[in-house]
Structure 1
């Protein structure tokens, strides 16, 4: 069997690269002989890193060729069908589904987060197109409710984020000082006050004896925000960049706590049983924190939280660290099995 996978791959975003690796691992575990072609911004790098075939996501001649020769298109995972990052995002991924439909190839929506939509045209395009896919799996209840509001009647299932099934054996390459807290942040409009609040909280954690380590998930853009917070801090902090996906997982595994805005920093914490505190910029963060029964402190754009709230929640976790770790292990053990079931569902759908 030969499948084509589309997503936000090849842009250096650790979360999206983790999604691709997780899907590839799951598909190969279910069917070792499967052929996989990933659409990527940097196809040569993707082919080398993931040991799959890859074509340029902007070369529609090659895209048509590989979809035509395939047994089906996997759309996902991640948050592909939304327009909060760009109004061009939805037309691109919808266009790929229509290419598959033109060649009469089945399409499987893989563990996606749907929405939010700022523009009516985006919502209309998603509504019209998803009525023609073969199977839809979504990763959170908000996405499920949105599709129900759009009257999507296709076979649909709620599944875990694919990265919850990720298997990695990398070891911590750099950090030797214990204990430390991992901080994963990202830039966000109208959220300047959160930088100083984070700095105040992190200074307090240094006073408690913790080392602060900024770990960018999207190296260049996240580094800038981390440097801004570090500049507000009175105490010293550390930032580690240019690591492989698996090395980032390993560094998180040895941490005491993760403070995260990026979704997949939180997912990496979950799969390594490291308690986390989430700071939201998108409903997917709130949904995941709720799934794992981990605390959500607020939204980065709002002023309804302060450094003291982060400190209070941290003290609560540190006082019951074993309980929080046990909760995460219980949840993620289940999610790992369910993540593999999504891959099985893809193959069943394409075979039928």
Structure 2
């Protein structure tokens, strides 16, 4: 059995790498002897990071420059070239052999399946689209796995190509209810779309080695974990002002937690690269503005996703901007207040029944964030009861990704004619 996992980003983003490690963790239970290959945008950083897997390069490497037009033109040319090479079966890139030899192509889960306009489709989404396109051209069964889906704007090229991909997939698995509802509107005739949940809910947590962080976690009292990111506020005119407001709201909320609530606050970089996509930068900036506060701690160890999940599990409350930091904490029953930069966050929080504990990152301020955090602290038991009620259904939906995938493999690539899913109530019913 040859399983090809496509569309991987980079191990340094511990949310994305947690997805792949959870996929491999689960695939090995069903197919212990399978050959699993991961197609990565940063293969040099990802080698030996996903267990017993090969890591190979994407057919098109990321554009290193900053000129948007040059990026669009370059990726458009690569699209045409790769389409022709696949059509003629020309071995222009070594990874094409992995597509040719795959029994099943599975995109890694995530939030990249979107393109708001033509420029984003030809720029950012093109790296992902080319991998899906190659699976189609090589006539391989492929699964759009545990995805947040949309937006796609209204450009006919974009919407046409995306609808075609969805219809040609053996399965399209939206990972939360907002994406599932979008797909019902976007491709109402599709019979291969089934709502699941993020596979990272199933990632197994691990303990961290003894040391400074372990001793801090052993302290008595309230512990709050925080993830933050330098969000770029796409499409907004005053990006610098919005980012400054976001930082200020976090700074004041963290100070409130440490000073007024007596909490130990752990700043936890969820993504440490590649390049400037590094949460350590903003975390260190916030820490420096707190003047070495004794109750605020920067977690700067390069932990595995499983170890991060183990740390998050020891928090009383989590305040997360990075969505997978929220998933890691929620899956361990830890109440969460989420700062949303994308509908995927709203969708996940709705799925766990905590949609009242989400604030949009645009225009956020301490005047809204501090009261919401205080509300959560006052109702930690109620939030835990909500998670105890909703998480079993989320775990079942996470496992459903693989139940359906294995059905496709067993049937030689055909979409299951009839699917039975585990409902939140714990009963089997027709999807």
Q: Same fold (TM over 0.5)?
A: yes
Q: 1:162 aligns with which of 199, 223, 227?
A: 199
RMSD between aligned residues: 2.3
Question: Do the aligned partners of 2:7 and 2:41 also contact (CA within 8 Å) in 1?
Answer: no
Q: 2:389 aligns with which of 327, 330, 333?
A: 330
Residue 176 (str. 1) matches residue 212 (str. 2): no
Aligned residue for 2:99?
67
Give a deviation string over 1:14-53, Cα, whole Å, max 9, x none: 1100110111112222332332111123446645222112
Residue 223 (str. 1) matches residue 284 (str. 2): no
Aligned residue for 2:112?
80
CA–CA separation in structure 2 for the residues paired with 1:11 and 1:119: 33
Give a deviation string over 1:66-90, Cα, whole Å, max 9, x none: 1111111102210232236954232
Aligned residue for 1:197?
249
CA–CA separation in structure 1 for the residues paired with 2:154 and 2:286: 33
Question: Do the aligned partners of 2:346 and 2:358 also contact (CA within 8 Å) in 1?
Answer: no
CA–CA separation in structure 1 for the residues paired with 2:15 and 2:54: 20
Number of residue pairs aligned between Structure 1 and Structure 2:
350
CA–CA separation in structure 1 for the residues paired with 2:170 and 2:124: 21
Question: Do the aligned partners of 2:208 and 2:214 also contact (CA within 8 Å) in 1?
Answer: no
TM-aligned CA deviation for residue 206 of structure 1: 0.7
**TM-score for the superposition, normalised by structure 2:** 0.75
CA–CA separation in structure 2 for the residues paired with 1:315 and 1:80: 33
CA–CA separation in structure 2 for the residues paired with 1:36 and 1:113: 24
Alignment of 1:200-279 (within 5 A): 200-207=252-259, 208-220=261-273, 221-233=278-290, 236=293, 237-241=296-300, 242-279=302-339
Tell me which moved more, 64-73 or 2-11. Answer: 2-11
TM-aligned CA deviation for residue 56 of structure 1: 1.4
SS at match of 1:311: helix
Q: 1:98 aligns with which of 133, 139, 160?
A: 133
Aligned residue for 1:19?
19
Tell me which moved more, 82-91 or 307-316. Answer: 82-91
Aligned residue for 1:131?
167
Distance 1:322 1:71, change over 3 A: same
TM-aligned CA deviation for residue 310 of structure 1: 2.9
**TM-score for the superposition, normalised by structure 1:** 0.91
TM-aligned CA deviation for residue 11 of structure 1: 4.8
Q: Which has the larger radius of gyration?
A: 2
SS at match of 2:108: strand
Tell me which moved more, 216-225 or 326-335. Answer: 326-335
CA–CA separation in structure 2 for the residues paired with 1:337 and 1:9: 26
Tell me which moved more, 203-212 or 165-174. Answer: 165-174
Question: Do the aligned partners of 2:3 and 2:105 also contact (CA within 8 Å) in 1?
Answer: yes
Q: 1:318 aligns with which of 377, 380, 385?
A: 377
TM-aligned CA deviation for residue 217 of structure 1: 1.0
CA–CA separation in structure 2 for the residues paired with 1:119 and 1:58: 28
